[in-house]
Every structure is written in structure tokens, then in C-alpha cells.
């Protein structure tokens, strides 16, 4: 519902924001009250939507399918929110009188490790390898048309070529004049 409201009914963000809400609340879903999870999910949906467009406008980075917004921004926010909402709650079972407790700093450091060390750095290295091989970007003409339009235009050209071949064959057989 938050995604529908913030996106003014845009279908893509209505569905994506729902997923962002689930991901935001998932960090503490086993410990949250259902109402808490609902509000945390709504916050995550709004933040994912707003951050997606802010990053796109500010840094000129296109997240075509919203994956970074839905999983990255919402996931990071969910981990940090869990640190505050579940502060002081035991994170582990107490074995031999030692118990780890949930804290905002612990959740924040864990989020940084997950998204920077295990997410951004490996993705950056792979991107540099792909760039050095010359396969990171699509051809400029496809970039201008739009990656999602390439197959549709190709199908249209193929259909036109088939129609022209059919017309030529019909003329050859004398079925069409001219």
C-alpha cells in the first residue's frame, strides 16, 4: 500500500515496493510484532522508492529493474532498523554464560560488511574484468533505443522481412500483380 501511494499508482513500484517492504522487515521478522513489521515494511517501501530515483538523478546510475533499491537499500535499512527495534534482545542462545545481544552498531557494521565487502567490492572487480574484456556495456545503438526494445525491434524487422518475402513469392507465382 505504501508503494502504491508513494508511486501514485505506478504498477512497477507498487509490486517492487511490496517486495522492498518484505525485505526491510525480514531482518527481524521472527521477533517483530506483526504491526511493527507492517510499519517497518512501509518505511522500507518508501525509502527504496525515494532512494532509487535520488541515486538515478544524482549519480546518473540506472537501476533498470529496481534490484539495488529493493534488495540493497531496503535490506540495509532493514538491518539498521532491526538494531534499534531489537536493541538488547539476545542474538544467540546462551551457551556457557555468554550471550551476544543485538545492538544498532552491531547491525550497522554487519550491514556494511554484507553490502560493501561481500557485495560492492566483488561486483566492482567483476565489472572491471568484464570492462577489460569489452563486454560490460551493450552497443551504443542498443543503448539509445533501450535494452528492452532491442528484441521487439528485431522481431518487427523479421516480420517485415517475412512479409516482403511472401509478397515477392506471390508476385513470382503470378498471384499478385505489380
pLDDT digits (tens, 9 = 90+) for 11-66: 899 999 999 999 999 999 889 999 999 999 999 999 999 999 999 989 888 787 88
Asked if 59 and 87 count as a contact pair (C-beta separation under 8 A), the reply is no
At residue 150 the predicted structure's pLDDT band, cuts being 50, 70 and 90, is low
Q: Is the pLDDT of residue 121 over 90?
A: yes
- Outline where 7-149 has alpha helix (H): 11-26, 34-59, 67, 74-85, 104-112, 121-133, 140-145
Return the pLDDT at 65. 85
Predicted structure pTM score? 0.71
Asked if 43 and 16 count as a contact pair (C-beta separation under 8 A), the reply is no
Amino acid at each position: 500500500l505504501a508503494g502504491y501511494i508513494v508511486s501514485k499508482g505506478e504498477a512497477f513500484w507498487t509490486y517492487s515496493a511490496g517486495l522492498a517492504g518484505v525485505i526491510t522487515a525480514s531482518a527481524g521478522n521472527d521477533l517483530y510484532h506483526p504491526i511493527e513489521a507492517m510499519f517497518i515494511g512501509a518505511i522500507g517501501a518508501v525509502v527504496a522508492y525515494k532512494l532509487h530515483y535520488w541515486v538515478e538523478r544524482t549519480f546518473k546510475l540506472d537501476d533498470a529493474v529496481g534490484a539495488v533499491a529493493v534488495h540493497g537499500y531496503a535490506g540495509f535499512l532493514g538491518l539498521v532498523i532491526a538494531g534499534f527495534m531489537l536493541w538488547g534482545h539476545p542474538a544467540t542462545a546462551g551457551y556457557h554464560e555468554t550471550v551476544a545481544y543485538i545492538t544498532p552498531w552491531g547491525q550497522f557494521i554487519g550491514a556494511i560488511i554484507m553490502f560493501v565487502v561481500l557485495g560492492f567490492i566483488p561486483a566492482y572487480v567483476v565489472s572491471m574484468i568484464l570492462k577489460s574484456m569489452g563486454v560490460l556495456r551493450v552497443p551504443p545503438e542498443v543503448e539509445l533505443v533501450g535494452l528492452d526494445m532491442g528484441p521487439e525491434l528485431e522481431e518487427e524487422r523479421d516480420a517485415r522481412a517475412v512479409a516482403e518475402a511472401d509478397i515477392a513469392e506471390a508476385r513470382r507465382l503470378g498471384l499478385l500483380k505489380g
